[in-house]
Structure 1
Amino acid sequence: MIDHFGINVKDIEANKAFYEAVLAPLGYAKTIDEEPYGMGFSSPDRTQHTGMFWLGQGEPSSPLHFAFTAPSRAAVDAFYEAGLATGGQDNIAPRIHADYHPNYYAAFLIDPNGHKIEAVCHTAP
């Protein structure tokens, strides 16, 4: 449904390291580089239309919540660990959220800008 979305961040370099780390386990990479102004992340070969996530240098907005699709539960776990290792804060550790649906496996982090980011896998193990 969403083709692309972006957020502004105060420190593009710190956020580049954080988002490169958390998005790699999900199969996303920095595919467009317009440093020092911004960068875009998507599937590395751009053959799968997964949408694009943009980081821009600028004044951050109010905290947002957004979720990235994960290909597996292991990828959700890796997203969470990578985020903690690069300055993210725990919000909800990886687990099933049966109140959403029986296979909703997700982890939530607070990024360096205060945004709640999530990785979610909808498939059964």
Structure 2
Amino acid sequence: MLGYVTLGVKDMDAAKAFYGELLAGLGAKVLFDMERIAMIGTSMDEPMVAVCVPYDGEPAHPGNGGMAAIKAGTKEKVDELYHRAIELGASCDGEPGQRIPDMFYGAYVRDPDGNKLAFFVFG
């Protein structure tokens, strides 16, 4: 049901590099790039992350309570994505760990623009 989530950024080149490198291990890449907005994913038919410079020309800033959650598939992949994000300049917003016993394992970061991301697996 979800097509894409859009994250406002200040520097498109830096954002495309961050998300392209971060999500490469999930098979994602920049699929569509129109200078002001770029879609990153595995296919235009699957959910994607869009990075963009805000249309209204105002500065990009993360919303309070907004978060993009990226399905990792395994606990090991959650850990890998978390550590890769930190290496790429993200900041920790919650280290990898079991959040709900036997149900939800996740990790949280803030990208270089302050957008909150979760990497997770159910089960």
Q: TM-score, normalised by structure 2?
A: 0.82
1:78-97 correspondence to structure 2 within 5 Å: 78-97=80-99
- Return the alpha-carbon distance in structure 1 between the equivalents of residues 67 and 118 of structure 2: 8
- Return the alpha-carbon distance in structure 1 between the equivalents of residues 103 and 60 of structure 2: 33
- Return the alpha-carbon distance in structure 2 between the equivalents of residues 106 and 19 of structure 1: 18
Question: Which amino acid letter does the alignment assign opposite residue 41 of structure 2?
Answer: S
Residue 25 of structure 2: SS of its match in structure 1?
A: helix
The runs of at least 4 aligned residues of structure 1 exceeding 3 Å deviation read none
Q: TM-score, normalised by structure 1?
A: 0.81
Structure 2 residue 51 is the aligned partner of structure 1 residue 55: yes
2:6 match? 6
1:37 match? 36
- Return the alpha-carbon distance in structure 2 between the equivalents of residues 24 and 106 of structure 1: 19
Query: How big is each residue's C-alpha offset from its partner over 1:63-118, in whole Å with a ceiling of 9 and x where there is no partner?
Result: 331201112222111111111111100111111111xx523111100111111101
- CA drift at 1:57: 2.2
Question: Which amino acid letter does the alignment assign opposite residue 38 of structure 1?
Answer: I
Residue 97 of structure 1: SS of its match in structure 2?
A: strand
Question: Which amino acid letter does the alignment assign opposite residue 122 of structure 2?
Answer: H
Where structure 1 has 5 or more consecutive residues not aligned to the other structure, the ranges are none
Where structure 2 has 5 or more consecutive residues not aligned to the other structure, the ranges are none
2:68 match? 66
Residue 81 of structure 2: SS of its match in structure 1?
A: helix
- State whether residues 9 and 15 of structure 1, in contact with CA within 8 Å, keep that contact through their aligned partners in structure 2: yes
- CA drift at 1:119: 0.7
- Return the alpha-carbon distance in structure 2 between the equivalents of residues 106 and 96 of structure 1: 6
Q: How many residues align?
A: 117
- Return the alpha-carbon distance in structure 1 between the equivalents of residues 93 and 62 of structure 2: 17
- Return the alpha-carbon distance in structure 1 between the equivalents of residues 52 and 12 of structure 2: 7
- Return the alpha-carbon distance in structure 2 between the equivalents of residues 92 and 72 of structure 1: 17
